[in-house]
């Protein structure tokens, strides 16, 4: 197709990683516009009337949300497929996607963000990777001023909400191990949207090396503790293996 394709994204975000992984996996030519959380709000509101990322612009059409983007790409670029053709496998895959999108993703995000609180320059390097040093510097200076809004926007209401993010990571990693069993994939015998979603959403815990979701180094103590907690889990090892097989392009 001839329409220009643009992905509006945060550089470090598991939902944004889902969309760009699908684009890369299908080999779809596109450009990326990297946004900074907070300053992105007026730009996206003007474009789409809402403020969540990722957003895919195809010609004059805007597709909002990682799963909607993958479904749209599946219709436009069927090969290689991400959504199983078999009805039972497709239903199972989409059930897993819903679980990670709507339950695990928001909960894990709270703990992931909380692990870096108090280190605005580290957060600026996460979200501002590739941007000029001066932009990252001034962004870091603004973060303490908007920390209350960041916490509210991500449902971080206190220690219990952060601990719930730890529980979510444990539950999801255990789910991966149980669901894949002795096989390589969560549904059927090939890579699908279920594997891509699970690996993307938990990449912030598994820290796949050399990937777009690898954490900047050196990391502050809270981030190191968060990553160390999950590093040896069989589910984290599976995520790093999935990244090695299907993401390193």
Residues 115 and 188 grouped into a single domain: yes
Q: Are residues 48 and 114 in the same domain?
A: no
Which H helix or E strand runs over 17? Answer: helix 14-26
3-state secondary structure of 71: helix
| 18 and 124 part of one domain | no
| 79, 129, 166, 176, 216 from 234: Cα distances, Å | 30, 29, 16, 9, 23
pTM to 2 decimal places: 0.93
User: pLDDT of 41-74, one tens digit each?
Assistant: 889 999 999 989 999 999 999 999 999 999 999 9
Q: Pick the more confident residue, 57 or 153.
A: 57
Domain end call among 76, 99, 127: 76
| pLDDT band at residue 243 using 50, 70 and 90 as cut-offs | very high
Residues 34 and 141 in one domain: no
Q: Could you tell me if 38 and 92 lie in one domain? A: no
- pLDDT tens digits, one per residue of 217-234: 999 999 999 999 999 999
Do 208 and 146 share a domain, yes or no? yes
43 alpha carbon, distance to own chain's centre: 21
Q: Collapsing DSSP states into helix, strand and coil, what is residue 57? A: strand
Is residue 82, in this structure, part of any structural domain at all?
no
Q: Give CA torsion, residues 61, 66, 69, 75, to 10 deg.
A: -160
- Per-residue pLDDT band for 98 (boundaries 50, 70, 90) equals very high
Q: Which domain holds residue 53?
A: 5-76
168, 230 Cβ separation under 8 angstroms: no
In a domain, 221, yes or no: yes
Q: What is the CATH number of the domain that holds 36?
A: 3.40.30.10
**What Cα–Cα distance (Å) separates residue 129 from each residue in 124, 174, 223?**
8, 31, 17
Residue 81 forms part of a structural domain: no
| Contact assessment for residue 60 and residue 34, using Cβ atoms and an 8 Å cutoff | no
Q: Same domain for 109 and 25?
A: no
Q: Could you tell me the strand order of the sheet in which 55-58 lies?
A: 31-35, 5-10, 55-58, 61-64
pLDDT digits (tens, 9 = 90+) for 155-202: 888 899 999 999 999 999 999 999 999 999 999 999 999 999 999 999
**Same domain (yes/no): 130, 216:** yes
**How many structural domains is the chain composed of?**
2
């Amino acid at each position: 197709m001839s329409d220009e394709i643009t992905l509006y994204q945060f550089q470090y975000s598991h939902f944004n990683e889902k969309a760009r992984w699908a684009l890369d996996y299908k080999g779809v030519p596109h450009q990326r516009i990297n946004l900074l959380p907070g300053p992105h709000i007026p730009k996206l509101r003007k474009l789409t009337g809402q403020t969540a990322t990722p957003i895919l612009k195809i010609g004059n059409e805007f597709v909002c949300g990682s799963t909607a983007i993958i479904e749209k790409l599946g219709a436009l670029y069927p090969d290689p497929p991400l959504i199983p053709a078999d009805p039972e496998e497709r239903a199972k895959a989409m059930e897993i996607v819903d679980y990670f999108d709507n339950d695990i993703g928001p909960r894990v995000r709270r703990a992931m963000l909380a692990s870096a609180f108090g280190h605005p320059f580290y957060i600026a390097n996460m979200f501002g990777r590739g941007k000029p040093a001066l932009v990252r510097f001034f962004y870091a200076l603004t973060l303490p001023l908007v920390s209350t809004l960041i916490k509210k926007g991500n449902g971080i209401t206190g220690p219990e909400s952060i601990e719930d993010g730890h529980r979510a990571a444990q539950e999801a990693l255990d789910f991966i191990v149980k669901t894949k069993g002795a096989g390589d994939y969560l549904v059927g015998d090939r890579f699908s949207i279920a594997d891509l979603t699970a690996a993307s959403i938990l990449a912030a815990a598994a820290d796949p090396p050399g990937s777009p979701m690898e954490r900047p180094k050196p990391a502050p103590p809270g981030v190191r503790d968060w990553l160390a907690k999950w590093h040896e889990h069989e589910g984290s090892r599976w995520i790093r293996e999935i990244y090695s097989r299907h993401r390193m392009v």
